[in-house]
């Protein structure tokens, strides 16, 4: 009877531990900052794209610090990404677009880890993208279809933003 009770308690503790690990952010679930990465952090980018109607959009974001997740992978933080129509505020129309984030690997292959489309979104459109693997020049963000919602005109050209070197230690 005592053995059975211990098994039940152990199983319950394991399920609570798994639930905690799966439901908490990486930094709270055992992730740790990588030593030696204080240099070259918070690299901000700003780009402008123009849709076929002539509307200019400003795209901003920041590649932040690197950290090791609970699986032992080294990721790079992508701080809030924003897309803003320059010089106007679309109260009625909104903006359209699509943002994809890709993990990069040693063999230079990539895997899409996030795909977000927005149609008639508030201006500015802001969201927090997933953090890709720390692989400078290979991991990247792909932004496409940016334009004024419902104007019948084409969107801006696709923009690819590759991850710069973050920190002073090369990824493993």
Q: What is the DSSP code string of 64-105?
A: EEEEE-TTS-EEEEEEEEEEEETT---SSS-EEEEEEEEEE-
Contact 161, 139 (CB under 8 A): no
Helices (H), the chain: 2-23
Question: What's the half-sphere exposure (Cβ side, CA atoms, 13 Å) at 41?
Answer: 17
The per-residue pLDDT for 23 is 34
- What is residue 108's predicted lDDT score, i.e. its pLDDT? 94
The Cα 108–Cα 137 span in angstroms is 9
Can you give the pLDDT at residue 142? Answer: 97
Q: How far is CA 83 from the centre of its chain?
A: 14
In the chain, which stretches have pLDDT less than 50? Answer: 1-36
pLDDT value for 11: 43
For residues 116 and 101, what is the distance between their CA atoms, to the nearest angstrom? 9
Report the sign of the C-alpha dihedral through residues 112, 113, 118, 123, in that order.
negative
**Separation between Cα atoms, residue 119 and residue 85, nearest integer Å:** 14
What is the structure's pLDDT at 134? 92
Going by their DSSP bridges, the two strands 125-127 and 74-85 should be labelled as: antiparallel
- pLDDT reported for residue 118: 92
Q: What is the pTM of this model?
A: 0.74
Predicted local confidence at residue 169, as pLDDT = 57
Radius of gyration over alpha carbons of the chain, in Å?
21
Q: For position 88, what pLDDT does the model report?
A: 77
Is the bond preceding residue 124 a cis peptide, omega within 30 degrees?
yes
52: left (phi over 0), alpha (psi -120 to 50) or beta: alpha
Write out pLDDT tens, residues 1-40. Answer: 444 443 434 444 433 343 333 333 333 334 444 444 556 6
pLDDT recorded at residue 48: 96
pLDDT of res. 44? 92
Cβ pair 136, 171 in contact under 8 A = yes
């Amino acid at each position: 009877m005592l053995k059975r009770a211990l098994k039940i308690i152990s199983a319950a503790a394991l399920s609570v531990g798994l639930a905690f690990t799966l439901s908490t952010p990486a930094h709270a679930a055992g992730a740790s900052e990588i030593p030696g990465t204080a240099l070259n952090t918070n690299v901000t980018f700003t780009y402008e794209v123009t849709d076929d109607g002539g509307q200019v959009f400003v795209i901003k974001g920041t590649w932040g610090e690197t950290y090791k997740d609970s699986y032992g992978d080294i990721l790079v933080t992508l701080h809030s990404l924003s897309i803003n129509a320059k010089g106007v505020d679309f109260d009625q129309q909104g903006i359209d677009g699509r943002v994809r984030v890709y993990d990069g690997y040693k063999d230079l292959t990539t895997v899409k880890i996030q795909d977000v489309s927005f149609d008639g979104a508030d201006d500015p459109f802001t969201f927090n993208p997933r953090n890709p693997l720390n692989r400078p020049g290979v991991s990247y963000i792909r932004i496409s279809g940016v334009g004024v919602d419902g104007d019948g005109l084409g969107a801006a050209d696709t923009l690819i933003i590759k991850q710069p070197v973050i920190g002073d230690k090369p990824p493993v």
